[in-house]
Structure 1
Amino acid sequence: MGAPDGDRLGPYRLLSPLGAGGFGEVHLALDPEGRTVAIKILHPHVAADEGALTRLAREVEAMRRVQGPHVAEILDASLTGGRPYLATRYVQGRPLAAVVSGDGPIRGDELVRLARGLAEALSAVHAAGVIHRDLKPGNVILTDGEPVVIDFGIACMLDSASVTTSGAVLGTPGYLAPEILEGGETGPEADVFSFAATLAYAATGRHPYGTGPAAAVGYRVVHHEPDLDGVPPWLESLLRECMVRDPAARPPASMLLARLGAAAPVVRAAAPQSHPAFAAAEIREPVQETAARRVPRGGVHSLTTREWRPGRGRGTGAAAPDEVRARRRAVVHRRWVVGTGLLVALAAAAARSPLPEASLLLLTIYGSVMLVDGGVALFARQNRSRLAVDLAGAGGSIALWAVLGALFSPLTLGLALGTVVFVLVVLLLSS
């Protein structure tokens, strides 16, 4: 089933394998516009189950409507042919399970951010009519302290007998709601139970129903109370309410954020985010942390890629629109000064011997334009660097004019000027 690096799957170019799970293999890939995505190629025994694919196809459209900074969006899907796949947003991060096992429990402001982020993610998933079905520490990716939930809706395939008997694990003991373990139907309330169990693990570093054989853990879920010793008081009462046996008694996902806002301490300003996060579904815990090191030479690091981002601003570190426009204007101005300075210096040097008056006139006009532009920027209280760029452009054109006139003949300079003008005209027409 493995796909070699550089292989193509639909419009995507596969770059490097990231991991594998019960449903398929996950590859880092490029979309047609050069943006990184995660491609999950379903295992042959899953692809051969028409019932599982039908259930997944029914949910894909709903899954694609799930939007939010704390969920990994489904971008594309192809569930026909010999290699069905899902394309999902990808950004490097660490699974919550790996963070807690390696660094210890999450506390303070980081726990508040985690709880609120998971509540937002669950609310977005349920608002689109999707049920996650397998929310657990391994399906929560942390990037810069912010959680992103992956794999929502995909567990609908677990209803298939042929899939489960082929090696897929039906959820994770200790994070599945008791009604599921007792053979009941999966509803949004089951996700609320899993939300609380995941937060309990993050806050304590322990699985809320202990460890051991799956049957033993499942028995504790159905018959015992969760171990919440060490959970902060502001969070404990909400978790207990979310983990009650009666699904109807659990608060809906839409209320979780409000409940957390009323109970949680104030979060201090967080460091700017460089990325929202995504990790591919069902990847084993170390994969995300080491994915960059596993890319072969000449792979991702030799390519210029752009991360896929939804069409909305997110992250506390994003620049304001006015600031972005100002930076773009400054870049365009510098390029204009340099380009026109080179062109004027070349033209003036070519005309220096046969038409000295025209040569000096060109330099005078260019210098005057630069001085006026710099003066306007200075009096308008704009960035003083604009004046410096204008003065440097005027001085540089005069110096270049003197050097070119001394080193090259008028014929050579004329040919060079004609070539530059021709290239500029071709570029303008082609653009």
Structure 2
Amino acid sequence: MESLKDADPEMIGPYRLLALLGRGGWGDVYFARKEFGPGVALKRIRPDRLERSPESFRSRFKREVTAARAVSSPYTAHVVDADTDAEEPWFATRFVRGLPLSDALDFCDGRLPTETWQVLATGLTEALRSIHVAGLVHRDLKLTNILVAVGGPCVIDFGIARHLIPEDGGTLTGTGLVPGTLTFASPEQLRNERVGPASDVFTLGLVLAYAALGRNPFGDGSAVEVSANILSGRSWLDDLPPVADAVVRACLEHDPKQRSALGEIAALLHTDAAPEERDWLPSPLRRAVETRTDLAFDMEQPWRDRNNDPPPQPLPASVWTPVDVPLQPSSRLRHEHDLESAPAGPPEQDATTLPPPAPDRGSRLPAQQSSAPRPQREGAPSAQVRHPGNDLREPAESDDSEAMRSLATGLEEAGDFQGALLWFQRSADAGSGTGAREAANLIERHFPELQDGVRGLYRAAAEAGDTQAMVRLGELLEKEPEGLEEALKWFGLAAAKKHPGARRDVARVRSSMAAVRPMTRKEWSLLGKHHAAALAGGVHAMLALAGWYQKQKRMEDALGWYLRAAEAGHSHGMLQAAELLDKVPGRRSEALTWYRKAADAGNEEAKYRVGRRLRREGQSSEALDLFRSAGGEGHVLSMIAAAEILEHMAQPSEALKWYGLAADRGHSKGLQGTERLRAAQAQRPEPFSPTTPGPEESLGQRTDGGDPRPALGRKDPSVLALVRSGAKTDERCGRLDEALRKYLQAEQLGDTAATRDVARLCLRLSEHSRNPDERRRLKKKARKRYAELADAGDLEAIQVIASLMPHDQQRQRLAAEAGSTRAMRFVAKAHMKAGSEEDVRTALSWLDRAAQAGNTGAMLDGARAHEQRGQHREALDWYHRALKSGEAAAAREVERLQAEHPDVEPPGVG
């Protein structure tokens, strides 16, 4: 926070500027406050920037505000006010009481503790998910755009966010510009390509790696050097803690298509970590956050540095308490929070800010506790504490709705939510639509027991013309099947008032209404048969009914039938009942009971769910048993989870086995884990034996400046062994060029095993080379040797050459016959394109073989092939195979297929 300069204005809109938070390339950010209102971060376009290209900057600013309004998450700074048509456009976001992550790391010895890192990762992942759901990409996630606050991390600065599908075809960045910071940019940003959500995933990995390592994972050199390493994929992640390793590596994949989605990142975190005020911040960092941000809440007068004045100090104690009462300086927030209601007395002595109950309103809050006089500290006079909102009390009690709202806003900032709600409701009774909407917002955040009154408040606000209330009311109505028409009405009214995002809401509801079609006579008949069979005890009919009710969003009815199937002993019913119960507040313990019963009944997915919960609770051994059991039955995600626990327990060999099983089924994280552990094993130093000569000495290398080339004999086995030993040592120490030279020498000596090592190192070096010609040369060498090995019948080489030559059908067929599930899918796709009945049968045969090997992609391919041929029952079988193997996307396909074809019975029926 800095002092204001003479050129900075006194007011912007209704906000008084108090201090400068920062100056950007095209705008300034101020700490500002309305009278008796909460502090905000207010951003405006500087006049000099606006004059250069007014239309461009004004259009850009409007899009920024629209983008920021569309994001709703506790981990982002939401917009509270804006005026994009002002002479100097501006908008205000909530002021986050926190430190930039770059500063926060200084209070944690450069890297965050594990628990703090987990909460940070969870919060940032959720923030980016909300940004992407709103149709945006942040594009500039870095340490200084992340604030660490007591309530959790907060992502700020959507100034260079861009629409994924902009209505006018424009973006929020200029063409030809590389936005953001070079050291915190994705490869596609540095190449100045069009970016999507995957770019934010990469920068998320960068930030999380920095927070875990205390350094940039792509080096500590200049910005040019770091960006070059990002472009080439050269990173240093060896020191990552186990809890961060899988998450960071999943984010930092060089190819955007290979990066994990944010939902997968959230699953990798294996935690429901949420910021707890007493837990998530280390003590030094917590104190720093409170100390450094107290100034903002104490500030009442603008801080201007005309005469080198010191920063404004907290208000004197006499403003808050009687003059004789000693009071330590503290924040404005703490002062207001500690004030209590005064006891009842004559009007001139009544210092409470709580309004008297409205005569015709009835009780809408729990009964107030009696306000006893606040105990006086020793030596203090008996005068009453003076609340700073008392000046508004008289106009508020005179039915001034604006005064009521201002008073309620001050109480909400002070933490007195009950008093704030009473005044917001009073302002609503006085006809304030905004007051009704703010009362509803407050109930949703802090008074869940009063949820029944929320819709009435939003309706009153909407009828008074409040567009935000119209949208929220529409969202509530949309959740009910019978409320779609009314939701469409309110979304339409908000769209007519040009509320951001309302048109998208209208289109979504219309699409939902179009999907709700009348049931045919055949469908009614089938539903009746299922109902009769279910009442007679038919478990599969119960499941069919539950699925139909779930598709109709009648969750209570669906839950009832799932529970009946579960009580009848069906493991799928137990699992589905547990999943629905898990989403109902207060019934999660019941959900866990059914998860456990389904696991005991042998359901692999239930074992995985219970294992995850046990792992979060610290019961890793019990979780490992469940993961091993489910993984042994083919559940891929359980294999990954078992491997992660074993790796954390320092059992790399066992972990490698489970990673390998997942890799054989085509899971990317299994492949990554296998490669990581094998690389770690290869880098372990071999024990030194003084009787064994070093590689250079053995090869006859000279140290006197003579010819360094080794003197080799072509068929000397001892020399060959020494060459291979030297090559392995060089590779282990990272001297890849020298290792390749020695493997080539071994190859010339007739060592056929060295051919594979040469091919492998050529590929590895090509991935790190910056020279395109060098990359092509190395890949050509690798292809040549792998082709020779493949022609000789080497199964591993056959699979590798197939991946290097993806369009060579002969190579792909050989790899498929050698057991490569990826090649099997390729061969199947080629036969499917041919189109004949015989080709289709051959394709399905290959897909079945790949599916039996655990490749979930082949299962989905087979399901789609059957579905295209109108074989919906067979398609449903294949989708269920994928679902049982841990493929999350299969669940959506099962629901869709059953909804589109309700006459298709699930597997096992009939």
- Aligned partner of residue 269 in structure 2, secondary structure: helix
Distance 1:291 1:254, change over 3 A: farther
Q: Structure 1 counterpart of 2:218, which letter?
A: Y
* CA drift at 1:154: 3.4
How many angstroms apart in 1 are the aligned matches of 2:175 and 2:115? 43
Q: Is the counterpart of residue 253 in structure 1 residue 262 in structure 2? A: yes
Pick which of 31-40 and 203-212 moved more: 31-40
Q: 2:89 aligns with which of 84, 89, 93?
A: 84
Partner of 2:343: 335
Identity of aligned residues (%): 33
- Aligned partner of residue 343 in structure 2, secondary structure: helix
Partner of 1:21: 24
How many angstroms apart in 1 are the aligned matches of 2:57 and 2:395? 53
* CA drift at 1:203: 0.6
Q: Structure 1 counterpart of 2:115, which letter?
A: D
How many angstroms apart in 1 are the aligned matches of 2:209 and 2:115? 15
Q: Is the counterpart of residue 160 in structure 1 residue 128 in structure 2? A: no
How many angstroms apart in 1 are the aligned matches of 2:269 and 2:59? 38
Task: Confirm or deny: 8 A CA contact 2:20 2:30 kept in the other structure.
Answer: yes
> Cα deviation per residue 1:260-310 (whole Å; 9 max; x = unaligned)?
12xx59789651799xxxxxxxxxxxx976964996389695599xxxxxx
* CA drift at 1:248: 1.6
Task: Confirm or deny: 8 A CA contact 1:189 1:252 kept in the other structure.
Answer: yes
Partner of 2:119: 113
> Cα deviation per residue 1:224-246 (whole Å; 9 max; x = unaligned)?
33222322112212211111111
Distance 1:40 1:2, change over 3 A: farther
How many angstroms apart in 2 are the aligned matches of 1:95 and 1:254? 26
How many angstroms apart in 2 are the aligned matches of 1:265 and 1:69? 15
Task: Confirm or deny: 8 A CA contact 2:111 2:211 kept in the other structure.
Answer: yes
**TM-score (normalised: structure 1):** 0.61
How many angstroms apart in 1 are the aligned matches of 2:151 and 2:396? 46
Q: Structure 2 counterpart of 1:335, which letter?
A: P
Task: Confirm or deny: 8 A CA contact 1:201 1:207 kept in the other structure.
Answer: yes
Partner of 1:201: 210
> Which has more helix, going by share of residues?
2
The aligned runs of 1:33-182 (5 Å cut-off) are 34-44=37-47, 46-47=49-50, 48-49=52-53, 50-103=55-108, 104-144=110-150, 146-156=152-162, 159-160=173-174, 170-182=179-191
- Aligned partner of residue 128 in structure 2, secondary structure: helix
Q: Is the counterpart of residue 231 in structure 1 residue 228 in structure 2? A: no
Distance 1:160 1:427, change over 3 A: closer
**TM-score (normalised: structure 2):** 0.31
Distance 1:28 1:388, change over 3 A: closer
What root-mean-square deviation, in Å, do the aligned CA atoms of Structure 1 and Structure 2 show?
4.2
How many angstroms apart in 2 are the aligned matches of 1:253 and 1:102? 29
Q: Structure 1 counterpart of 2:138, which letter?
A: H
Task: Confirm or deny: 8 A CA contact 2:71 2:131 kept in the other structure.
Answer: yes
Distance 1:299 1:388, change over 3 A: closer
How many angstroms apart in 2 are the aligned matches of 1:145 and 1:240? 28
- Aligned partner of residue 244 in structure 1, secondary structure: coil
How many angstroms apart in 2 are the aligned matches of 1:145 and 1:89? 13
Pick which of 27-36 and 44-53 moved more: 44-53
How many angstroms apart in 1 are the aligned matches of 2:43 and 2:56? 19
* CA drift at 1:33: 5.3
Task: Confirm or deny: 8 A CA contact 1:23 1:43 kept in the other structure.
Answer: yes
Task: Confirm or deny: 8 A CA contact 2:122 2:273 kept in the other structure.
Answer: no
Task: Confirm or deny: 8 A CA contact 1:29 1:37 kept in the other structure.
Answer: yes
* CA drift at 1:122: 0.9
Give unmatched runs, 5+ long, in structure 2.
163-170, 282-290, 304-309, 320-336, 351-366, 374-393, 400-910
Pick which of 35-44 and 8-17 moved more: 35-44
Distance 1:270 1:386, change over 3 A: closer
Q: Structure 1 counterpart of 2:14, which letter?
A: P
Partner of 2:333: none
Q: Structure 2 counterpart of 1:129, which letter?
A: G
Distance 1:177 1:5, change over 3 A: closer
Partner of 1:31: 34
How many angstroms apart in 2 are the aligned matches of 1:387 and 1:136? 48
How many angstroms apart in 1 are the aligned matches of 2:371 and 2:156? 50
* CA drift at 1:4: 5.8
Task: Confirm or deny: 8 A CA contact 1:114 1:145 kept in the other structure.
Answer: no
- Aligned partner of residue 335 in structure 1, secondary structure: coil
Task: Confirm or deny: 8 A CA contact 2:151 2:276 kept in the other structure.
Answer: no
Q: Structure 1 counterpart of 2:15, which letter?
A: Y
How many angstroms apart in 1 are the aligned matches of 2:396 and 2:83? 40
* CA drift at 1:58: 2.6
How many angstroms apart in 2 are the aligned matches of 1:85 and 1:428? 30
How many angstroms apart in 1 are the aligned matches of 2:63 and 2:180? 21
Task: Confirm or deny: 8 A CA contact 1:38 1:87 kept in the other structure.
Answer: yes
Give unmatched runs, 5+ long, in structure 1.
275-286, 305-323, 344-381, 390-425
Larger radius of gyration: 2
Task: Confirm or deny: 8 A CA contact 2:98 2:147 kept in the other structure.
Answer: yes
Distance 1:428 1:187, change over 3 A: closer
- Aligned partner of residue 42 in structure 2, secondary structure: strand
Distance 1:2 1:92, change over 3 A: same
- Aligned partner of residue 26 in structure 1, secondary structure: strand
